[in-house]
């Protein structure tokens, strides 16, 4: 860890809980302190000590075109001199809504918010108000933000820190949330047979990305759709991560399963804070001021976020972008798998489009239980090696890797070569010791 990052972290810990504004960033799961980032361009980050990294965090997903993409920068430059926030409607909000409705198959009406957490929280409130019911169903390891109702058996940060729930969440509120194993249709069927008439909504990441990437079973997704319809519950797809990343219309377009409501975020802000929820018109019209279910936000539809998001989505409407992402992602993840095999190391690679994960285990990863059975110690050593080689990964085994259009052949080859070195060490059971800092 460089001198400047170390000094900043020591200062931050005196001022900010844990020294970070989002828990996983602290790096405790990998036994390392965080690097403080000073700038980014293309597929690279630079920390305050001048070290360059190939970035596979991509701000946890939204930088699908890479950092500081010229068209996004231009869009922001053109907007910022006109003011940063009005607290009033703008033409950009209408253009964003029109674009989302056009691209996402199930959305006929949409509302902007400021984060993925706001989107899922609002969608749950809407579902409860619309159905007149209180209970919801979620799935173990799926993270839907930090709203109280959704922190039961969640993935992402809670999984990283092995927190089984969250202090501060009232027990009676948690009692309205049923948490079931992902990809387990028999368990879901049983739960709906018992609680179906009381269920307001079933919320799911159709492609989980917060316990690492887990591939959905098609029978499971179709079963969710069929059974929610049978019991008049709403099906909510949390596509905050998968939306626009795996296809122009997200996982629902890729798999052909249409939810009642969809939550979006990340990419539609082009890297700025944003979220959205939308769905069938008759449901969305229940929101105030058209209906009586309340949700509001001063910064919702912020003109800077809308400008950056529109510039991003304009690029993503070009099919060759997804062809390019598929080619690069396939090269990266197949290369990682081949390198591990060559070293005699057992790994599981799960990938959908430009999001994927590498698990240190020898059996399929299909749910939260099998995710947790992967070798966390091997990941810690792998993470340290890769960081020393100048490859920046999420500091947790329970997160996804993201590929952008800015990742070129050279950076991908470098990543595979660096991984091969680490795999060779891991296969021999050696400790990696200190991170090998290579400044350039």
* Residue 440, pLDDT score: 33
* Residue 152, pLDDT score: 65
For this structure, is 238 an active site residue? yes
Contacts of 18 (CB under 8 A, 6+ apart): 26
Q: Are residues 139 and 275 in the same domain?
A: yes
Last residue of a domain, one of 316, 339, 361: 316
pLDDT digits (tens, 9 = 90+) for 238-296: 999 999 999 999 999 999 999 999 999 999 999 999 999 999 999 999 999 999 999 99
Average pLDDT of the chain is 93
Does residue 244 sit within a domain? yes
State which residues of the chain have pLDDT below 50: 155, 158-164, 432-440
Does residue 440 sit within a domain? no
Q: Are residues 63 and 75 in the same domain?
A: no
Domain with residue 368: its CATH number is: 3.90.1150.10
* Residue 162, pLDDT score: 46
pLDDT digits (tens, 9 = 90+) for 50-65: 999 999 999 999 999 9
Q: Are residues 302 and 324 in the same domain?
A: no
Q: Are residues 52 and 84 in the same domain?
A: no
* Residue 171, pLDDT score: 73
Does residue 439 sit within a domain? no
Q: Are residues 142 and 60 in the same domain?
A: no
pLDDT digits (tens, 9 = 90+) for 154-181: 545 544 444 445 677 777 777 789 999 9
* Residue 165, pLDDT score: 59
Q: Are residues 85 and 24 in the same domain?
A: no
Q: Are residues 339 and 420 in the same domain?
A: yes
Catalytic residue among 53, 56, 130, 143: 143
Last residue of a domain, one of 264, 288, 316: 316
Q: Are residues 333 and 289 in the same domain?
A: no
CA–CA distance, 206 with 208 (Å, rounded to integer): 6
Contacts of 16 (CB under 8 A, 6+ apart): none
Catalytic residue among 135, 138, 266, 328: 266
Last residue of a domain, one of 316, 350, 365: 316
Q: Are residues 94 and 171 in the same domain?
A: yes
Q: Are residues 110 and 141 in the same domain?
A: yes
Q: What domain range is 303 assigned to?
A: 70-316
Does residue 435 sit within a domain? no
* Residue 175, pLDDT score: 78
* Residue 264, pLDDT score: 98
Q: Are residues 14 and 76 in the same domain?
A: no
Catalytic residue among 33, 49, 184, 238: 238
């Amino acid at each position: 860890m460089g001198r400047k990052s170390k000094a900043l972290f020591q200062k931050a810990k005196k001022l900010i809980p844990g020294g970070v504004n989002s828990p996983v960033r602290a790096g405790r799961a990998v036994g390392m302190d965080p690097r403080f980032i000073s700038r980014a361009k293309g597929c690279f980050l630079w920390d305050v000590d001048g070290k360059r990294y190939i970035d596979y965090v991509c701000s946890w997903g939204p930088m699908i075109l890479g950092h500081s993409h010229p068209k996004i920068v231009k869009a922001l430059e053109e907007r910022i001199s006109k003011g940063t926030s009005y607290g009033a409607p703008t033409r950009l909000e209408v253009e964003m809504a029109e674009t989302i409705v056009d691209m996402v198959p199930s959305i006929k009406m949409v509302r902007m918010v400021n984060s993925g957490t706001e989107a899922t929280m609002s969608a749950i409130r809407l579902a409860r108000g619309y159905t007149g019911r209180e209970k919801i169903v979620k799935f173990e390891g799926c993270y839907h933000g930090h709203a109280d109702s959704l922190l039961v058996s969640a993935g992402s940060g809670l999984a990283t820190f092995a927190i089984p729930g969250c202090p501060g969440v009232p027990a009676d509120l948690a009692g309205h949330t049923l948490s079931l194993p992902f990809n387990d249709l028999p368990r879901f069927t049983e739960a709906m047979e018992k609680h179906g008439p009381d269920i307001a909504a079933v919320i799911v990441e159709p492609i989980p990305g917060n316990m690492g990437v887990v591939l959905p079973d098609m029978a499971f997704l179709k079963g969710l759709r069929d059974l929610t319809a049978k019991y008049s519950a709403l099906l909510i797809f949390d596509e905050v991560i998968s939306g626009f990343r795996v296809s122009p219309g997200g996982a629902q377009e890729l798999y052909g399963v249409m939810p009642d409501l969809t939550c979006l975020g990340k990419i539609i802000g082009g890297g700025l804070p944003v979220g959205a929820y939308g769905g069938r018109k008759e449901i969305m019209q229940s929101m105030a001021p058209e209906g009586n279910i309340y949700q509001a936000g001063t910064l919702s539809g912020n003109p800077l976020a809308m400008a950056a998001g529109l510039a991003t989505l304009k690029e993503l409407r070009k099919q060759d972008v997804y062809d390019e992402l598929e080619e690069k992602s396939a090269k990266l993840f197949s290369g990682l798998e081949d390198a591990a095999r060559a070293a005699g190391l057992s790994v599981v690679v799960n990938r959908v489009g430009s999001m994927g994960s590498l698990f240190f285990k020898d059996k399929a990863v299909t749910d939260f239980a099998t995710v947790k059975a992967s070798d966390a110690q091997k990941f810690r050593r792998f993470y340290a090696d890769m960081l020393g080689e100048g490859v920046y990964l999420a500091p947790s085994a329970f997160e996804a890797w993201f590929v952008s259009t800015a990742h070129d052949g050279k950076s991908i080859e470098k990543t595979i070569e660096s991984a091969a070195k680490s795999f060779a060490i891991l296969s021999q059971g050696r400790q990696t010791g200190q991170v090998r800092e290579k400044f350039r």
